[in-house]
Structure 1
């Protein structure tokens, strides 16, 4: 998959200019990740709509920075204990990798854009190309991420949405047979 075919950088990305997006909660006929686009009532409302959307972002709904900090900390604690998997990481100190993953996930789910400000476009496939990501690596990554997610106590809806993304992304990173 090329960079242009990757999932969008931010699932909460706004609608075309001049349109408002209203995200339905878990109680609608649509999931929280889906939205209904309506024309704005006034021109110049874009700032207010953006502020409202950011407070309703997936990032905010799941607990914001604290949730993603816990998720990445739990994940990398498991990586550190798995010597075979940890060997795939070029840095002895997993702290920088933990920070990069946290920043990426926060941005992807509608939080701060620190990742792009510091590192540019994520280009996940390109950044993972130097590492031998095969079926074993994908399944091991998913095993540790699932265990980390289980510590978050997310709602079934939020857990399902996040897990679906992780599963699809992990499959997309495979770059070696076997």
Structure 2
């Protein structure tokens, strides 16, 4: 008896819809951030290309091209964007919640496996942002961009 092969597990980046999906997500998200009284002061002067840059970052984190490392300075640059900002726990939580809501609005996959990975990264990364933004923080600038993966592969039908 021949057992059908299970298709290879796609990256989180591919499962989400690639670069375009992350740009859509972050365009929606930062639109909401600029309307939020708690977060607007933090992002008031952001570069108009900020959503695109963060989309490139998330793409690399979730298994897409290493473009953030190649073109935007990698992990050291991302960490440097948070230094001295004094991000509060309340701001962190609002940021995470708005981004999870924006994922729904943008139509990112809603399956449990993808959302567990996505939410897990947001929690982990936002908590590091709070640490890195605290007065006197001295993060290691030589750390690589993190690479996030599935907590368990998404269910897919076997190949015929």
Structure-2-length-normalised TM-score: 0.68
Whether 1:76 aligns to 2:30 is yes
Which residue number corresponds to residue 63 of structure 1?
17
Name which structure has the greater RCO, CA cutoff 8 Å, separation 6+. 2
| Structure 1 gap segments, 5+ residues each | 1-23, 27-31, 33-55
- 1:88 is matched with 42
> Equivalent residue of 2:92, what SS?
helix
Runs of 4+ in 1 over 4 A off after TM superposition: none
Displacement of 1:113 in angstroms is 2.2
- 1:73·1:98 contact (CA, 8 Å) conserved in 2? yes
Deviation at 1:90, TM superposition (A): 5.5
Change (3 A) 1:101 1:153: closer
Equivalences for residues 39-50 of structure 1 within 5 A: none
| Counterpart-to-counterpart distance in 2, 1:82 and 1:103 | 24
Q: 2:44 & 2:104 partners in 1: Cα distance?
A: 27
Question: Number of aligned pairs?
Answer: 125
- The corresponding residue for 2:141 is none
Cα–Cα, structure 1 residues 127 and 25, in superposed 2: closer, same or farther, change >3 Å? farther
